[in-house]
Amino acid sequence: MITSTDAGPVNGRRERLRTALCWLAVAPGLAWAAVRLPGLERGPGVQALAFTPYVAAGALVPAALALALRRRLPAAVAALVAMALLGVVVPRALPSAQPAARGPELRLLTANLLAGAADAATLVDLVRARRVDVLAVQEFTPDAAAELDRLGLAALLPHRQLHPQVGTTGSGLYARFPIDGGGVRHNRGGWGFSQAYGTVTPPGGPPVRVESAHPSAPYAVDQVDAWRTDLEAQPAATPEAGLSILAGDFNATLDHAPLRALLATGYADAADATGAGLTGTWGPYDGDPIPPVTIDHVLVDRRIAVRSVSAHRVPGSDHRAVLAELRLPAPAGADADGAGAGAGAAGG
């Protein structure tokens, strides 16, 4: 039996326990925000940060708990954490204003083929059905190249810059239009993934440099430096010069500082621009109990308008293919009528 004399200390212990419980609930989100907002991810935190949208979705729970237990300071801190995390995540689900591009349309598809294991028929059918103009592939093998052509890709996208390799390091770029200045760039970090690139010029449109991006993955702590090196070495946008598109498996989400730094050079993330920025492109398609994260991207010069972005399952791969429907700016000196004619030609 608790007497009136004992009630004070007991209630005090309960109050302290409730306060401690609130701070324990708030601490993980606070630590997450302290890493995510200034871009301080290191070591194993790099992989974890990919799941920021899920952390943001649950960030209001500690605030609700603290309010229910009448703990004002933990509630206020939890609310600020929730606002900060939701503030960086929610805009990805909202479309943003697009530039007034008046050139031709360009439909670009990127797909990680998982060391050539992706179903080639599905990919070719997608190219045919969606009238894809440019296809960027990663983890591209000689067998995959042969199978894609056997199934009709050569007729659909006859121009190519290919670097197939056994395993995961190969890269390829296919196009409906001629590819000029093509080549292959080799990443220096990790596995040494290759990146095929070239410049395409749609009828009635300006030239656009396209590269099939594939930086190293931060799958272990000793690979984080290689991952950062590869992302930092990606071609920057050139706002005062030619148009550029990077498309592929970046092994990074918009919550990773190196990818945000790349965007800051003058790119827009196509999915983010259309409100599809939370669509998962990797996991759990390989059977692992991992919630989907968005590591496949189409980064476009900010002068390019993004009409739509969609993700498509490709059996045999643990990645979804990403299709971006774009509208290019008119080439210098072209009028609106000329640009419209070019768009019609490009859509054929």
pLDDT at position 8, please?
A: 58
* Closest C-alpha to 253, from 225, 229, 281: 281
State how far Cα 178 lies from the chain centre: 27
pLDDT at position 340, please?
A: 42
Residue 76 confidence (pLDDT) above 70: yes
Residue 197 confidence (pLDDT) above 90: yes
pTM: 0.91
pLDDT at position 289, please?
A: 78
Per the structure block, which two tokens stand in for 100?
């007034």
pLDDT in tens, 200-237: 999 999 999 999 999 999 999 999 999 999 999 999 99
Domains of the chain plus CATH, in order, are 4-92 (no CATH), 101-346 (3.60.10.10)
- Region 173-194: mean pLDDT is 94
pLDDT in tens, 8-31: 566 678 888 989 999 999 999 999
Q: In the structure, what pLDDT confidence band is assigned to residue 290 with cuts at 50, 70 and 90?
A: confident
Q: In the structure, what pLDDT confidence band is assigned to residue 347 with cuts at 50, 70 and 90?
A: very low
Q: Higher model confidence: residue 288 or residue 67? A: 67
3-state secondary structure the chain: CCCHHHHHHHHHHHHHHHHHHHHHHHHHHHHHHHHHCCCCCCCCHHHHHCCHHHHHHCCHHHHHHHHHCCCHHHHHHHHHHHHHHHHHHHHHHCECCCCCCCCCEEEEEEEECCCCCCCHHHHHHHHHHCCCCEEEEECCCHHHHHHHHHCCHHHHCCEEEEECCCCCCCEEEEECCCEEEEEEEECCCCCCCEEEEEEECCCCCCCEEEEEECCCCCCCHHHHHHHHHHHHCCCCCCCCCCEEEEEEECCCCCCCHHHHHHHCCCEEEHHHHECCCCCCCECCCCCCCCCCECCEEEEEECCCEEEEEEEEECCCCCEEEEEEEEECCCCCCCCHHHHHHHHHHHCC
- Give the Cα-Cα-Cα angle 54, 325, 302 (nearest 5 degrees): 75
Q: CB–CB of 187/195 below 8 Å?
A: yes
